[in-house]
Amino acid sequence: AQTVTQSQPEMSVQEAETVTLSCTYDTSESDYYLFWYKQPPSRQMILVIRQEAYKQQNATENRFSVNFQKAAKSFSLKISDSQLGDAAMYFCAYRRDNQGGKLIFGQGTELSVKP
């Protein structure tokens, strides 16, 4: 069975600085998708970034980028120029490459941003 692990329950960053959130996963599949979701205090689940396992290039979305290491099964999220609005719970998630496939989430990392 696939598992997702986030070993950092809490992280803190100074406004305008850079922070990296860690995520590891375990799977025997070769094709899959990885995601980072943000859950602010409103509890809405917001997709931050997506990575296809077959792509070697790391995904980037504005200030958000990932470091995808397929062999090491590692998928970290880097937030550059952190803003107060980035404060939230961040979940790493895995999905098999199939129609209707479920998301398997990590335990989450609570990110606080200091002004």
Partner 1 sequence: AAGVIQSPRHLIKEKRETATLKCYPIPRHDTVYWYQQGPGQDPQFLISFYEKMQSDKGSIPDRFSAQQFSDYHSELNMSSLELGDSALYFCASSGGLEWNEQFFGPGTRLTVL
49 closest CA partner among 22, 84, 76, 9: 76
Tell whether residue 44 is a contact of partner 1 (CB under 8 A). Answer: yes
Query: Under 8 Å CB-to-CB from 55, ≥6 apart: which residues?
Result: none
Task: Kindly state the smallest distance separating residue 25's Cβ from partner 1, in Å.
Answer: 13
Q: Cα separation of 49 and 65, whole Å?
A: 8
Tell whether residue 108 is a contact of partner 1 (CB under 8 A). Answer: yes
Tell whether residue 25 is a contact of partner 1 (CB under 8 A). Answer: no
Please return the burial class of 95, using the count of CB atoms within 10 Å of its CB with bins 0-12, 13-18 and 19+: middle
Among 91, 94, 111, 113, binds partner 1 (CB under 8 A): 91
Between 61 and 81, whose beta carbon lies closer to partner 1? 61
Q: Cα separation of 2 and 88, whole Å?
A: 25
Tell whether residue 45 is a contact of partner 1 (CB under 8 A). Answer: yes
Between 80 and 107, whose beta carbon lies closer to partner 1? 107
Binding site for partner 1 (CB under 8 A): 33, 37, 42-47, 50, 91, 95, 99-108
